[in-house]
Structure 1
């Protein structure tokens, strides 16, 4: 499991929030392959927690249907390494599993095709660390050759949008938000240099750490999200070959589904 730099990932939140999320998330154990939930993207790379939370940080999304009194100030999300769906689920399956009805695409016009999908569990806590509710969300992986792209779907949205996100277009009355940042992955016991510290403060890199590799790796993360009929959709890619314009066209294809 990678240890992610959660403090830098939440630049506009109180320090108490950052500390609690960082401590909790980095202590979570990996889910095993026989768990009932599956992650369609990161289980292949051994970094389940990082991917899911990066998606949440980027979109600040979580379901609101089961939250109790008390404002949610932190979110913990997790799944296992075994996909829940290896073929596109039916509308009836999704309604049964999630109690909402997102628009489902088996293959996009640009060639990205459904590979697998997973159920993600989300838990919310308030600013005092008290339980504030839980929900489930849906995460699909699409592939095109060796390229992978994730589509995250959640019933509702909680919290303010990240300042990384900007509206790049409006389609049929729906704002499409785009974001990107550079992730710098370091070995688990790596010690930051003075230059690293400057890069972190300037926002040049978001640092993450883990035991997956003993080599440094720099990745470009990008995504696009929008809200339609109370459902939040978010594309997320790491070192993906897809362009911003293609992401917009894929979002339009989803929006156009009747």
Structure 2
């Protein structure tokens, strides 16, 4: 099956969305933790991109009043779980019971779990829906990936998404793109505008410097729960992500 080029799906990200991404960064708590500052920067970078991915799933088309136009995600760098929780623990804390995998067959292993609060906004910036999702981090050597689990899904899936595989009757949706993360006060140059228009880069705001990252996302819905893998500059292939998703889907 051919990959869908998601870069071309979002040629002109609206200012309202860019402002929401910046607001997400500014709302993150300024906490002093045992982690090195560099780890905090990586975490913040991930949260900005998660917000961007969430808005991409919704799409950038302006929906009718009351419909979700963009999504922001807020969370803490302090883990909710430092060891793999049980399904019962998650159900008590989050009011839904996702399928949980401690270690995948390809070697990615659970390291921490976080609470993420998500808010859906209409095109005027008004809050229309809120959810709480569970965000797991898995590592394999120096490589990391994120798995988000949410009871339902804010907004609507873009009609331009492409099904990359089907497992037990469940469609798996994959997309990848080059993200250019820039400071909040960054002004797009002429070349930037060309790159955005052509789909070479998707721009997001909130970093202290310009960074370009390769993003991969794989998501699916099972029993009313939305699962989503997110990787940033990872060496993992889309085929490996599909196999990891299949392992979750087949978990009893």
TM-score by length of 2: 0.80
Counterpart-to-counterpart distance in 2, 1:188 and 1:123? 20
Matched, 1:225 2:219: yes
Aligned to 1:31: 29
Aligned length: 233
Aligned to 1:11: 10
| Larger helix percent | 2
Counterpart-to-counterpart distance in 2, 1:118 and 1:9? 32
State the Cα deviation string for residues 116-173 of structure 1 (Å, max 9, x = none): 1111112233445443232201111100011010001111123332366311111111
Greater CA drift, 132-141 or 25-34 = 25-34
Tell me how far 1:32 sits from its aligned partner. 3.0
Summarize the alignment of residues 88-107 of structure 1 with structure 2, pairs less than 5 Å apart.
88-107=84-103
Counterpart-to-counterpart distance in 2, 1:192 and 1:54? 18
Matched, 1:143 2:139: yes
Structure 2 residues not aligned, in runs of 5+: 1-6, 34-38, 60-64
Greater CA drift, 101-110 or 216-225 = 216-225
Question: Conserved in 1, the CA contact under 8 Å of 2:21 and 2:52?
Answer: no
Match of 1:85 among 81, 86, 89: 81
Cα 1:91/1:117, change in 2 over 3 Å:
same
Tell me how far 1:56 sits from its aligned partner. 1.3
Question: Secondary structure in 1 aligned to 2:27?
Answer: coil
Match of 2:230 among 220, 232, 236: 236
Structure 1 residues not aligned, in runs of 5+: 1-7, 36-41, 62-68
State the Cα deviation string for residues 45-96 of structure 1 (Å, max 9, x = none): 13354033033134449xxxxxxx9433332220012111111111111001
Counterpart-to-counterpart distance in 2, 1:130 and 1:209? 20
Match of 1:179 among 164, 175, 179: 175
C-alpha root-mean-square deviation of aligned residues, in Å?
2.9
